[in-house]
């Protein structure tokens, strides 16, 4: 007869094994971040930008809806970061302001939504999450197409705007460098490869 092993000892062994596995995963991600951070400085600076191809607003009974199309290409540096376990965060922003000749413009609407892009090496799939919703993609090209098209996105309530008044609309899509790990945030300030964004695209809108 073998001596019985106390249940507490088994649970403790399991807890340590889980902790060790989590620590190994964390170390891999940390090592990837360090390697990326050290490698970016030697790369040539590139002017990577997002282009706004089209944008429009339409007013319906209950809300104001945005349609927009961007030209987005994730460069090799960002793709490498994704595949090494570093998630990327993109932010879609829209502003509606009412010009005032006697003071600063009235920022009537300020809308933003965040997309989290991550890569799972086990399933070899990308996942884009926004709020509580997430969607898997088999390739980075599919992720780029998804981020590049905004269709019927409600950005304001109808009662926030005054009918017949002309507003200045502006929209942009950008990579949020503040969401990067700390070592990479420094590179985001010095390398255009880590500051992927569009200029503000502006037009007039009257509900």
Q: What is the largest CA-CA distance in the chain?
A: 92
- pTM for the model: 0.74
SS3 assignment, position 4: coil
Q: Three-state SS string across 31-44, please?
A: HHHHHHHHHHCCCC
Asked whether residue 65 is domain-assigned, the answer is yes
Asked whether residue 32 is domain-assigned, the answer is no
pLDDT in tens, the chain (207 residues): 445 545 455 445 555 554 444 445 554 444 444 444 444 433 444 445 899 999 999 999 889 999 999 999 999 999 999 999 999 999 999 999 988 766 666 789 999 999 999 999 999 999 999 989 999 999 999 999 999 999 999 999 999 999 999 999 999 999 998 888 776 666 655 667 778 899 999 999 999
Which pairs from 51-59 meet CB under 8 Å and 24+ separation? 51/198, 52/171, 52/172, 52/173, 52/198, 52/199, 52/201, 55/169, 55/171, 55/201, 55/203, 56/203, 57/155, 57/169, 57/205, 59/158, 59/161, 59/207
Is 128 in contact with 122 (CB distance < 8 Å)? Answer: no
pLDDT at 185: 62
pLDDT at 67: 98
pLDDT at 10: 43
Asked whether residue 7 is domain-assigned, the answer is no
Asked whether residue 132 is domain-assigned, the answer is yes
- Residue of 108, 194, 113, 99 lying closest to 157 (CA atoms): 108
Is 126 in contact with 102 (CB distance < 8 Å)? Answer: no
pLDDT at 44: 41
Asked whether residue 11 is domain-assigned, the answer is no
pLDDT at 30: 47
Count structural domains, the chain: 1
Structural domain for 66, as ranges: 40-205
């Amino acid at each position: 007869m073998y001596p019985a092993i106390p249940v507490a000892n088994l649970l403790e062994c399991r807890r340590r094994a889980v902790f060790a596995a989590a620590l190994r995963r964390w170390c891999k991600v940390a090592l990837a971040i360090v390697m990326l951070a050290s490698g970016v400085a030697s790369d040539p600076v590139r002017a990577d930008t997002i282009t706004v191809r089209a944008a429009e607003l339409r007013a319906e009974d209950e809300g104001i809806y945005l349609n927009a199309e961007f030209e987005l290409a994730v460069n090799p540096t960002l793709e490498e970061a994704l595949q090494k376990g570093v998630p990327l965060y993109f932010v879609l922003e829209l502003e509606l302001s009412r010009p005032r000749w006697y003071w600063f413009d009235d920022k009537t609407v300020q809308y933003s939504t965040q997309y989290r892009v991550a890569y799972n090496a086990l399933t070899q799939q990308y996942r884009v999450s926004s709020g509580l919703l997430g969607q898997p993609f088999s390739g980075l090209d599919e992720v780029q197409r998804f981020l590049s098209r905004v269709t019927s996105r409600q950005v304001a309530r109808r009662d926030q705007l005054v009918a017949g008044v002309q507003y200045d609309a502006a929209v942009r899509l950008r990579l949020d460098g503040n969401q990067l790990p700390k070592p990479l945030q420094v590179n985001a300030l010095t390398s255009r490869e880590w500051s992927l964004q569009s200029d503000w695209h502006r037009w007039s809108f009257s509900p």
